[in-house]
Amino acid sequence: MSHSKAIHNRIADGGYAAWLSYPSLPSGRLQDQYVKWCGAVQATDEDDTVQAALREWQRGIESMLGIQAVKVREQAPTGLSVVFGTFQGGNPLIGSVFGEETVRIVGPEGFAIRTSQEQGCIAIGAVSPAGVLYGVFHLLRLIGNLEEIEGLDEVIIPVNGLRMINHWDNFDGSVERGYAGRSFFYDNNHFTNDVERIRDYARLMSSAGINAIAINNVNVHALETLFISKYLPEVASIADQFRVYGIKLFLSVNFAGPMHEGEVCTADPLDLGVRKWWQDTAAGVYAAIPDFGGFVVKADSENRPGPFTYGRDHADGANMLAEALEPFGGIVIWRCFVYNCKQDWRDRKTDRARAAYDHFKPLDGKFKDNVILQIKNGPMDFQVREPVSPLFGALERTNQVIEFQIAQEYTGQQRHVCYLVPQWKEVLEFNTYAQGAASPVKHIVDGSLWGNRHSGIAAVSNVGNDRNWTGHLLAQANLYGYGRLAWNPELTAEEIASEWISLTFGTDPDVSSVVSRILLDSLEIYESYTAPLGVGWMINPEHHYGPNVDGYEYSQWGTYHYADHQGIGVDRTVKTGTGYSAQYIGLNSERYDSLETCPDELLLFFHHVPYTHVLHSGKTVIQHIYDTHFEGAERAAELLASWSSLKGTVREDLYMQVEERLRGQASHAKEWRDQISTYFYRKSGIEDTGKRTIY
């Protein structure tokens, strides 16, 4: 593709290229440096993944620098080139630049990158083809962010072994909790076979460091049960596209699969016929997809089938599936989102927050070594503010991954900008005290704290068939940011935002400043006009969008927040409440249980207090509610004003998308402000000291 054609396609793409749009770089010293090194490239490995890396390199260099990266067999005539390949791939330059120690420490997915003035090359070496691909994406990212490349010398290894995306796509083409159009895998109970889009999706995910994708909803319907039998050829074709980009395909399965297929009359995990059915099924899957990752399972929750029906526990169910996958190296990812949705919530001793811990803590150490428990970041359901799940730190002998939600189900559904990386960072940094003073969640999920064989991070996808993938263009930052954070949890939210902005919009400092501020302020702004002091669920039931103060899913059994004319909040203390605070370890348990030490932002999650209770901030609870909702609506309007300053600077097709979304957010924030302020004014009868209009 010519440089002019590449630019034309980039301008017209409506955000489709996302952070792989490779904007043109400004002229100057750094561009001269890049041109000097990047005009020739050597990639001698014939592996499909390395050749994909070569195509990516040539595409990126042409688009950013306006030059052709010419493939050469030997050293370039100028004496300078970029060379990449596996250590065993046969290129002597790779061997001469990297020594045996580098080869030893780089790991199965890591890579080494070094600028060798002596050899006249920038070399990227890796054990695996996927590592080579990650290294090429890394060098392109450095160039796209105007970083120096003449002194490179580092080994970069992903911190987390599993870096996974969970799709909630249904075979009919709908996406549960999807806010960016329909599925691009399926439509009307058929596979779309949209090879180009699936390949481009794999490119995007690989560039952010993702190495595993489950392609169907955890709520598996009848036809989707056939993905592991009748529709295996179609599934295998998707796996073929993923494989080129270092991604393993996973499938969500229905625990009652043997019954749905009509071959076995039970799904009892201890039944020999059931066990054999899963073993035969697994063998068939691996015959079609040799590098198949494994199964994702939601069982015994929200009316999904599971081992409880047969008097068995979660370990019985998970281990039965693990036994079937074990000969092929597959894993079972068993979700811990298990609670009784039919409980009577009017009983204030009933507490959904307790459920995951109560179910899984007693089973610690009983799961097979190829079972991973997938634990939501909080005890509830991806609320804008909730504490970290106490299961992190409680399971010493069980593989586990943390589950985030990129899809913004409760944080604006990609109609409101809400950059979630700061939230995820806070969760990963949370100290569990599981092994004394320094036991953060990030070291549990990376496997280092307990020495787990399997570990990592999973997240619910936010993509669909919208042209820009995520509905709201700025929501791409969450998708990119999730992948980067899963690769390296030490990256800051600011660093990740800066990378994404440069790779998406270019390196204009004015654009970077405005977009960065919008992203980094957005979570605090969204929380301020929606969820006060740790109260969640004040949204419309079922579709979960828009304010409804008594809108908890099970409100027929009482409100979630227990607000009355005297006070608000859920008592989760040991002495007078549900005892949930005792599920935490040491100082965390003491801090949350005490009204004096509980952090303001989680006060109403752990305590029921009068509206006149004075926070650590010095404000009363009711005044905090009024102030944050009015200020939040004002700040939402300011987001639109900030973005408007970029009109004529940001590409028009991108500018208009974001302006439309921010305009809607500003209006909707006022609706949140008015409904919540009015509700609590009428409940409490206490005036706003700011004398603002509350109806």
Closest-CA residue to 571 (of 604, 599, 600): 604
Let me know if 302 is a catalytic residue. yes
Identify whether 381 is a catalytic site residue: yes
Which H or E run contains 281? Answer: helix 272-288
Bridge partners of residue 475, in order along the sequence: none
**Structure letter (DSSP) for residue 496:** H
Catalytic residue (choose from 47, 268, 351, 409): 409
Question: Which candidate, 112, 121, 117, places its Cα nearest to that of 38?
Answer: 121
**β-pairing verdict for 40-42 and 162-166:** unpaired
Based on the number of CB atoms within 10 Å of its own CB, is 596 exposed (0-12), middle (13-18) or buried (19 or more)?
exposed
The answer to whether the beta carbons of residues 249 and 202 sit under 8 Å apart is: no
- Determine which helix (DSSP H) or strand (DSSP E) holds 561, and give its type and residue range: none
What lies within 8 Å, CB to CB, of 573 at 6+ separation is: 579, 581, 593, 606, 607
Cβ contact 170:455 at 8 Å: no
Separation of alpha carbons 335 and 554, rounded Å? 22
Name the DSSP class of 458: E
Active-site position among 381, 495, 508, 524: 381
Residue of 187, 302, 631, 638 marked active site: 302
| Torsion angle, alpha carbons of 364, 367, 370, 371, to 10 | -70
- Active site (annotated) includes residue 32: no
Contacts for 673 with CB less than 8 Å, ≥ 6 apart: 529, 629, 630, 632, 633
Residue 79, number of CB atoms within 10 A of its CB: 10
Q: How far is CA 40 from CA 67, 71, 490, in A?
A: 10, 6, 33
What are the Cα distances from residue 132, in Å, to 21, 84, 156?
21, 7, 11
121 contact partners, CB below 8 Å, separation of at least 6: 42, 75, 80, 81, 82, 83, 93, 97, 115
Catalytic residue numbers read 302, 381, 409
